[in-house]
Amino acid sequence: MMVAVLLVAVSHHQMYAQQAQQKAAYDDYDQNIAKMNVLALPFRNFSLQYERVVARKISVSLGVGIIPGGKLPMLSAFESYIDDEATMEQLQGVRLNNQTFTLEPRFYLGKHDGPRGFYIAPYARYSTYGLSFDEFEYTVELEHEGHYIEETRTIPLDGHIRGFTGGLQFGAQWRIGRWVYLDWWILGGAYGTAKGKLTATAALSAEEQSALREELTDLEIPMVDTDVDVDGNGARLNMKGPWAGVRSGLAVGVRF
């Protein structure tokens, strides 16, 4: 009887010792990291990420990105590549804001335990874009005393695009010193769907309706299909179709 009790006590002691060792090993590496993508800052993009380690070589990250409303970021850097002055004027009148939410499990493949080394990360992202044109230009052909003349009119457009994508990212992360992490988002790509609309509200004549409808129909938006509806009270441009994106960056973080 005493031998049986002794065996039970020893087995329980070994079990608790193993659990303590596993917990000590788990506590031996960093479990929480808060990061910011510093390469996104010149584009007025504040991209933040929180990473939580859930297993020896697995973590889950939640990312939030915000572009405050304003002109297209870095537009002046591309001015020399845009030959059409009218196109440049249109782009200067565009206002953009953006919010993204990204869920990303990571699988680390390096020799270190915890969030260090090369990793593969499938991810899902929800994005919203606010778009507005201060003065969207279109040309109206009018008859005057037996002659046809062309007049340029403007109308403000305002709207949004919402997209959901899924993809895969490759990256590598290093710990620098005791507190700082460097996370290189080498390259990621995603594919999904998006839909949105642009609207304008104004009293329009028959000639203005025809001219605005033609201008909106000719507006080229990559990848998505568009449907234009114009009447005497304004215009609506509906967009729907596939959506794709490329992801890269360099994030600096601190553990806690």
User: What tens-digit pLDDT sequence spans the chain (256 residues)?
Assistant: 444 433 344 444 444 444 444 444 445 679 999 999 999 999 999 999 999 999 999 999 999 999 999 988 877 766 666 666 766 777 788 899 999 999 999 999 988 889 999 999 999 999 999 999 888 889 998 877 777 888 889 999 999 999 999 999 999 999 999 999 999 999 999 999 999 999 999 999 999 999 999 989 887 777 788 999 999 999 999 999 999 999 999 999 999 9
Instruction: Report the pLDDT value the prediction gives residue 208, as an integer from 0 to 100.
Output: 93
What is residue 221's predicted lDDT score, i.e. its pLDDT?
74
* Confidence (pTM): 0.80
- The encoded tokens of residue 60 equal 């889950």
Longest dimension (CA), the chain: 119
pLDDT at 110: 86
**For position 77, what pLDDT does the model report?**
67
* pLDDT for the residue numbered 79: 66
User: Alpha-carbon distance 230 to 216, whole Å?
Assistant: 9
Q: Is the separation of the CB atoms in 226 and 209 below 8 Å? A: no
pLDDT at site 80: 64
What are the tokens at 236?
Answer: 């609506």
Helices (H), the chain: 2-27, 85-92, 206-217
Nearest alpha carbon to residue 118 among 171, 66, 155: 171
> Would you state the pLDDT for residue 21?
45
Predicted local distance difference test score (pLDDT) of residue 22: 45
What is the pLDDT, as a whole number, of residue 94?
A: 87
**What spatial distance separates the first Cα and last Cα of the chain, rounded to whole Å?**
50
Per-residue pLDDT at 112: 87
Within 10 A of 253 (CB to CB), how many other CB atoms are there? 25
CA distances from 244 to 45, 56, 59, 124, 160 (A): 18, 32, 25, 12, 17
